[in-house]
Structure 1
Amino acid sequence: MSTIKIHINTISILKELLCLYNLLQAHGDVKLVGGCVRDMLLGLAPKDIDLATTILPQEVMRILSLNQIKCIPTGLEFGTVTAVVNHITFEITTLRKDIKTYGRKAEVEFTDEWLEDAKRRDFTVNAMYASIDGTVMDFFNGIEDLKNKKIKFIGNAEQRIKEDFLRILRYFRFISYIGGNSIDENSLMAAIKLKSGLEKISGERIKTEMFKLLSNPFAKKSIRLFEKTGIDQYVGMPEIYNLPELNFIIGNATVNLTLILKALKISAVELNGLFKRWRLSTLEKKELAFLREYQYPWPLNAEIKLHQREFYRLGAYFKNAILVKASTEEQYTLAEEFILASTTWRYPDFPLKGEDLIKLGAIGPKIGQIKNLLLETWIENDFLYDKDELLDIATKISLK
């Protein structure tokens, strides 16, 4: 068993963690678990803090409620309760072992054995626990695998994948997270052998996992493995990638569907395939269809008023439209600055209504046509024309 310690006191939410830990530890054993332990061993700040405990979930709920801590029965039948302390959420899960598995779901039995709980986890680097003093409990040499940058399934790799075929994508996602040049051949071979199982996974889960993968710093390594192993065809990826573009979005916090499609250099046929495979929403499809044809008209270093006008025209599409325009690191930085600035941009209401044009004698389709023309004139003049000025322009246009 490991005697390595992590520095718990570096956690930014230590006060809230200690509050929760001290309450629960009085009733049973409690440890940090999973990704937060892994990240601290990597020297990274953990994004979330998950806790594992020997206390039964109903008892966890009772303890939290008695101490006026908000608790949510997130997955009570699987032992999981979410606690909210000072608006910070913590997932608390009772130790358990799988009796039967049904894809991502399982029939579980609660236990007080830490080894039994660790056995049901996916990878060695995700199956470590830490006491509040920082002592790490590591049953499967996860610390060593983390040092070697190696992602390895716990136990029989094929069996773990068959429990939930999404674990194939999770395997590649964690490769994209920790990097390195070491590959566990047994895990990789199992993923290749069972890759067709990804066809059973819903598009929503595939899409979510791919977003996470592409936002990781070493995503290129996983993308190369996709190509070599044929995994790409099971997750909706096209045959041709725009590698320079892909380099720019990898590890970027603004990774989203539009940028992914731009980077993948996707064709119309492949786009339809991705629509189907990733189960995109109607709104996502509509935006992608628009942005596929739309060309952002201004250089990113153009004066700010040109971008402000375009923001008014595009509304919610502005963010992705300007990101698609970027093609260098410098341009991406500039685009993100405009996106941030746009949250403060305010515009007056367009002062003209259709009924104003009807009073001038406009009829039928001409009403909408003239209104759109005047709207564009108003935008181009930086939203400064008032109602009377716009009506004066309207009188010079054929209204019939």
Structure 2
Amino acid sequence: MNAPAQDRIAAFLARPVLARLLAALNGEGEETRIVGGAIRNLLLGEPISDIDLATTALPKETIRRGRAAGFKAVPTGIAHGTVTLVGGGASFEVTTLRQDVETDGRRAKVVFGRDFTTDATRRDFTINALGLDRDGRVHDYCGGLADLAARRVRFIGDAATRIREDYLRILRFFRFHARYGAGGPDSEGIAACIAGREGLGGLSRERVRAELMKLLVAPGASATLQAMAGAGLLMPVIGGVPHLSRFAAVAGDGGEGVHPAFRLAALSVAVSEDAVRLRERLRLSNEEFDRIERIAAALESLGGQPGLPPVVSLRHAAQSTGSDAVAAALVLLSASAGKEAGHDVQQLIAELARTPPFLPTGKDVVALGVPPGPRVGRLLEAARRGWIEAGCPAGMDEQMGFVGEIVRSAR
């Protein structure tokens, strides 16, 4: 281990709230270590979000010790040995060491144990099975340090066995490769995923969606999705033919700050029916579905035109789908065409953003003598279309001129 990694470990363990927790949970015959992703990211020098710990202590003892040290204890997964300890503005999941006694491809029955190696080898990938004790020693149970150095995502032990324990590990394999891997995915892992792909059908749609959304914004998402498609594992997840070249074109700048729903639309959407299919297949949230459905509607509205659509077409489409959806659709249309039109696209998006609001409302139409009713909305929409065709003048008086003209012509 290099000196910078050692320094990061020392600084990490010196965090007051973590040091207090480890002091409380260690000693008097019990040992607690930090495990999983926190160690992986610490060694890579990447941000740490969640801090999980494994302990020899039973849950009741974990709760007793945590409370004695001033932490609030929440029995978040007590049946599986997990207690969340909250204190000092942070929360920590502490889980009693476990051993699987039965698995069905979705969940496992476990018994508590006291062996860190046995607990580690029930995990999914070698890089997720590292442990760190309170003295700063890294415990490598499965060759995870070498795999981490090589940026290699590899199942622990027999890959097919790990997958049969939980078929979600097929998606996790690709998601972790997209996030941490280099080069192509591990060949043994790919073969095991292909052999176990029928198990994907038994997974909850929520779990599948959560993994896919994380994969889509990972740094290596494009190449990883290509590998999934080549293995016949992508269409069963999204339920349709993927737009891989379009996704690759929009994913070139990485995934930081990108909304996963936009990436999902880039991969999977051409028409509105695709959005409905994704909602049902992946149990999209209402916000995700709304975003993807509006992008699909904008794609339908703008598609079929040679070259980039004129700004007037964009403004018409934005009235029904929203400027954000039109901007997203414009990016996707440009990517589908395979053109180097990035600058022109950005200019069009900027021009669309400068569109002033259309200020007249239904009340203004009624004030001109039109009885309240559905006709008011139709007349207002016709006025708005004329306003867009005229270049979207900004003043209320000018905009009311379009309303007045439409009302007069309709009498």
> Compared with structure 1, are the counterparts of its residues 280 and 273 closer, same or farther at alpha carbon in structure 2 (3 Å cutoff)?
same
Q: Deviations over 1:323-352 (max 9, x none)?
A: 4433589779979x99xxx9xx9x99x987
| 2:293 maps to 1:289 | yes
Q: Deviations over 1:165-219 (max 9, x none)?
A: 1111111112212222365433322211111111111222222111111221122
Distance 2:344 2:83 in 1: 40
Match of 1:274, as an amino acid? Answer: L
Give the structure 2 partner of residue 73 of structure 1: 75
Q: Deviations over 1:215-259 (max 9, x none)?
A: 211223322221221112221264453425424326313142233
Q: Following TM superposition, by how much is the alpha carbon of 1:266 offset from its aligned partner in structure 2, in angstroms?
A: 4.3
Q: Does structure 1 retain, via aligned residues, the 8 Å contact 2:55–2:97?
A: yes
Q: Does structure 2 retain, via aligned residues, the 8 Å contact 1:172–1:213?
A: yes
Q: Deviations over 1:34-82 (max 9, x none)?
A: 1111122223232322222222223323333344433332211111222
> Compared with structure 1, are the counterparts of its residues 323 and 286 closer, same or farther at alpha carbon in structure 2 (3 Å cutoff)?
closer
2:255 alignment partner, one of 236, 252, 255: 252
Q: Does structure 2 retain, via aligned residues, the 8 Å contact 1:34–1:128?
A: yes
> Compared with structure 1, are the counterparts of its residues 78 and 314 closer, same or farther at alpha carbon in structure 2 (3 Å cutoff)?
farther
Match of 2:105, as an amino acid? Answer: G
Give the structure 2 partner of residue 84 of structure 1: 86
> Compared with structure 1, are the counterparts of its residues 266 and 9 closer, same or farther at alpha carbon in structure 2 (3 Å cutoff)?
farther
Give the structure 1 partner of residue 37 of structure 2: 35
Q: Does structure 1 retain, via aligned residues, the 8 Å contact 2:131–2:140?
A: yes
> Compared with structure 1, are the counterparts of its residues 329 and 9 closer, same or farther at alpha carbon in structure 2 (3 Å cutoff)?
farther
2:214 is paired with a residue whose SS is: helix
2:238 is paired with a residue whose SS is: coil
Give the structure 1 partner of residue 327 of structure 2: 322
1:89 is paired with a residue whose SS is: strand
| 2:175 maps to 1:173 | yes
Distance 2:259 2:363 in 1: 44
> Compared with structure 1, are the counterparts of its residues 367 and 237 closer, same or farther at alpha carbon in structure 2 (3 Å cutoff)?
closer
> Compared with structure 1, are the counterparts of its residues 314 and 106 closer, same or farther at alpha carbon in structure 2 (3 Å cutoff)?
same
Q: Does structure 1 retain, via aligned residues, the 8 Å contact 2:131–2:139?
A: yes
Q: Following TM superposition, by how much is the alpha carbon of 1:261 offset from its aligned partner in structure 2, in angstroms?
A: 2.1
Distance 1:7 1:233 in 2: 41
Match of 1:322, as an amino acid? Answer: A
Alignment size in residue pairs:
379
Worse-superposed segment, 288-297 or 35-44: 288-297
Q: 1:83-162 to 2 correspondence within 5 Å?
A: 83-162=85-164
| 2:370 maps to 1:362 | yes
Stretches of structure 1 lacking an aligned partner (at least 5 in a row): none
The structure whose RCO (Cα within 8 Å, separation 6+) is larger is 1
Match of 1:366, as an amino acid? Answer: R
> Compared with structure 1, are the counterparts of its residues 321 and 49 closer, same or farther at alpha carbon in structure 2 (3 Å cutoff)?
farther
Q: Following TM superposition, by how much is the alpha carbon of 1:138 offset from its aligned partner in structure 2, in angstroms?
A: 1.0
> Compared with structure 1, are the counterparts of its residues 334 and 43 closer, same or farther at alpha carbon in structure 2 (3 Å cutoff)?
farther
2:375 is paired with a residue whose SS is: helix
CA RMSD in angstroms, aligned pairs only: 4.2
> Compared with structure 1, are the counterparts of its residues 330 and 120 closer, same or farther at alpha carbon in structure 2 (3 Å cutoff)?
same
> Compared with structure 1, are the counterparts of its residues 48 and 13 closer, same or farther at alpha carbon in structure 2 (3 Å cutoff)?
farther
1:234 is paired with a residue whose SS is: helix
Worse-superposed segment, 167-176 or 95-104: 95-104
Q: Does structure 2 retain, via aligned residues, the 8 Å contact 1:176–1:217?
A: yes
Stretches of structure 2 lacking an aligned partner (at least 5 in a row): 303-307
Distance 1:166 1:212 in 2: 13
> Compared with structure 1, are the counterparts of its residues 117 and 145 closer, same or farther at alpha carbon in structure 2 (3 Å cutoff)?
same
Match of 1:227, as an amino acid? Answer: A
> Compared with structure 1, are the counterparts of its residues 351 and 151 closer, same or farther at alpha carbon in structure 2 (3 Å cutoff)?
closer
Give the structure 2 partner of residue 197 of structure 1: 199
Q: Does structure 2 retain, via aligned residues, the 8 Å contact 1:323–1:332?
A: no
1:122 is paired with a residue whose SS is: coil
Give the structure 2 partner of residue 19 of structure 1: 20
